[in-house]
Amino acid sequence: MECKSKYKVPGGKLIEIRLVHENGTVVSLKIIGDFFLLPEEKLGLIEKSVEGMKINADEIDIASKIAEVASDGKIEMIGIDPASIAKAVKMAVGA
């Protein structure tokens, strides 16, 4: 099932989520928006980190997973953060 959300981070940038889930599991995630993320090539690592998670996972667990991948990959985000991406993901799946 495909779902979408848009979330404007207060004082930050816009996050748009395009997510596909099957049997309660995220199978693909695309994060779109006017944010900054460096190095740019590593956005895919953030997207992949959420794939395989359950759509009913806690927002905080999704945020932790993203934060872990960002830290490991030395990824810097400006205008968004792991918590706001997690919030947008949960908005997309209707939670």
Partner 1 sequence: MRWRVVGLETHDAYFNMAIDEVLLERVSEKLSPPTIRFYRWSPSAVSIGRFQSMEEEVNVEKCREIGVDYVRRITGGGAVYHDNRGEITYSLVAPESEFPKGIRESYRDICSFIISGLGSLGIKAEFMPINDIIAEGKKISGNAQTRRNGVLLQHGTILYSLDIKRMFSLLNVSKEKISDKMIKNVEDRVTSVSAFGNFSLNDLYGALLEGFTEGREYDFGMWNREELEAAEKLRIEIYGTRKWNFNR
Catalog residues that contact partner 1 under the rule CB under 8 A.
Answer: 6-8, 10-14, 16, 30-40, 43, 76, 78-79
CB closer to partner 1 out of 10 and 23:
10
Residues 6+ apart with CB under 8 A from 72: none
Nearest approach in angstroms of CB 91 to partner 1 is: 11
Nearest approach in angstroms of CB 32 to partner 1 is: 5
CB closer to partner 1 out of 7 and 55:
7
